[in-house]
Amino acid sequence: MNKTPTLFDPVQLGALALPSRIVMAPLTRCRAAEGNVPVALNAEYYRQRASAGMIIAEATSVSPQGFGYPNTPGIFTAAQVAGWRGVTSAVHAAGGRILLQLWHVGRISHPSYQPDGGLPVAPSGIKPQGKIFTGTAMEDYVVPRALERSEIPGAIAEYVHGARLAKEAGFDGVEIHNANGYLLDQFLRDGTNRRGDDYGGSVQNRVRLTLEVTEAVVGVWGADRVGIRLSPGGVFNDMHDSDPLETFGHVLKELDSMRLAYAHVTRVTAQDVAHGAKEGVGPRELRPYYRGNIVSAGGFTRESGERALAEGWADAIAFGVPFLANPDLPERLRRHAALNVPDENTFYAPGPKGYTDYPALEG
């Protein structure tokens, strides 16, 4: 008789042998140095959290065009590789495992972030609702420039370059950021993709860039060290789709045959619903479309995480904000210990305060 898995049981995600099913979710912290380079402070932050079954490092731009937030890291220069190597060395010395999340923000940017002050790129010229922090002020988003069909191979090549440099930097694998309203998610959903070529229209066309990027990154790492993140119910960054179950069911069926290490599928939280998201499309509903490993994220506690494992719609659980404030989160969960309260004022502020100064448990 098979034992019901707990958060504290090991799990094999492709080639990644995790000592527990507690994953650290990618968390943007806006603390990279000049040149979008990780530094010793970042290495210490991740080292402190190396007891996670696996760390998925923060979203990291594969391209100078891919930025939309201040002081976020990149993975396209030699200096960035050297900075990330300091991070991976620190995590490995502490016994941990760490993957890099490959990112391009697409339209969620502004000319102030773009090379030569150009327009952000997107599948279609549809302006996002809302405002963006440009480093000095909150400003309206702009109408992005639709990527030309001839530019798409170059965009794929940027993900490949980032994947190669992630390997050079010593990561244990990579996760493709195909969620939360950024470039690949923009291509996938019909609310942001109004193209008339073979990358738009039908779900088969809209999924094309996701599959081509994934196949290309698998060519660098092998499928068993590649994951992908999807947010099927998410509305962050002014996202929507007319039939998310069809769209994300289709993409997961296509990805299933690739035998990736895992699919990282977020669930809808109460906060998402408050911002207009609808229940009914998440890892539980999409499980029939994907036979591989599913990592799920979205406001889990120890109890709700273990319930998801027991019900079979997740194989590991990613924790975000709890890891931010609790470097020793696995041990706290094991002991049913109280959690440190996160200071939201320091989530994206510079320096060690609210970053590396949260205390671990005594003893």
- Cα atoms in the Cβ-side hemisphere of radius 13 Å centred on 184: 30
Distance CA 230, CA 151 (A): 24
Which among 218, 220, 245, 236 has a CA at the least distance from the CA of 210? 218
182 belongs to the catalytic site: yes
Unique residue bearing structure tokens 């599913």:
294
**Residues forming beta bridges with residue 102, ordered by sequence position:** 60, 176
Catalytic residue among 45, 113, 141, 182: 182
Other Cβ atoms closer than 10 A to 226: 27
Token readout for 296 is 């799920």
Known catalytic residues?
182
